């Protein structure tokens, strides 16, 4: 069972949901997904959920209470989040999103991910939700590593900060030398 915490107003959710739909088409006989919505209005829920081929918590007062309770129990820090549980409610992984993204949209890869989930020993809720200790920092690091442009941007930023710091420590003559220009003597002003 996959608990899919998402919302129509969330750009990463809008990117991930089609991948999850493709994944689900290949494994729907083996995995059931339940959409746990953070949509703000019934219209937003209906429009977004209308594109999904799986189940959902109702978007009514009772469903809203269940969503809040589930999010608290599952310690949801952000969306989209896909938590995979076994049929007894034990946690297989709290990082189903990464697994689905790695499977792309091929049937063989999707079935391989589900096979891996089935062979992973399920653990009690508390232990399973601690699997991802890094949380936000881990996601940031993975995003940076998957997008090399961020690495170059960070290196440029570090170099820029270093230049500014060096210039502030050494004065205008150091800035001129850094730019391959001869320093301007004080008597020429």
Q: What are phi and psi of 171, to 5 degrees?
A: 85, -175
CB-based contact 103:17 (threshold 8 Å): no
State residue 36's pLDDT score: 96
Q: What are phi and psi of 83, to 5 degrees?
A: -105, 130
Place of tokens 């420590």: 169
Q: What are phi and psi of 91, to 5 degrees?
A: -85, 130
State residue 124's pLDDT score: 86
Q: Is the pLDDT of residue 186 over 60?
A: no
Average pLDDT, the chain: 83
d(CA 156, CA 160): 6
pLDDT band at 189 (very low <50, low <70, confident <90, very high): very low
User: pLDDT tens digits, residue range 79-105?
Assistant: 999 999 998 889 999 889 999 998 867
d(CA 165, CA 24): 52
Please state whether the predicted TM-score (pTM) of the whole model is above 0.85: no
């Amino acid at each position: 069972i996959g608990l899919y915490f998402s919302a129509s107003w969330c750009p990463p959710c809008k990117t991930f949901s089609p991948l999850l739909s493709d994944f689900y088409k290949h494994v729907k006989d083996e995995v059931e997904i339940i959409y746990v919505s953070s949509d703000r209005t019934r219209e937003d829920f209906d429009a977004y959920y209308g594109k999904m081929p799986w189940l959902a918590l109702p978007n009514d007062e009772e469903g809203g209470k269940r969503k809040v309770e589930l999010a608290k129990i599952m310690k949801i820090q952000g969306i989209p989040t896909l938590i995979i549980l076994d049929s007894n409610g034990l946690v297989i992984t709290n990082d189903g999103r990464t697994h689905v993204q790695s499977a792309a949209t091929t049937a063989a890869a999707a079935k391989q991910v589900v096979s891996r989930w089935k062979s992973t020993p399920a653990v009690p809720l508390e232990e399973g939700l601690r699997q991802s200790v890094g949380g936000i920092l881990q996601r940031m690091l993975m995003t940076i590593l998957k997008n090399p442009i961020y690495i170059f941007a960070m290196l440029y930023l570090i170099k820029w900060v270093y230049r500014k710091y060096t210039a502030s420590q050494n004065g205008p003559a150091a800035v001129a030398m850094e730019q391959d220009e001869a320093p301007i003597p004080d008597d020429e002003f």
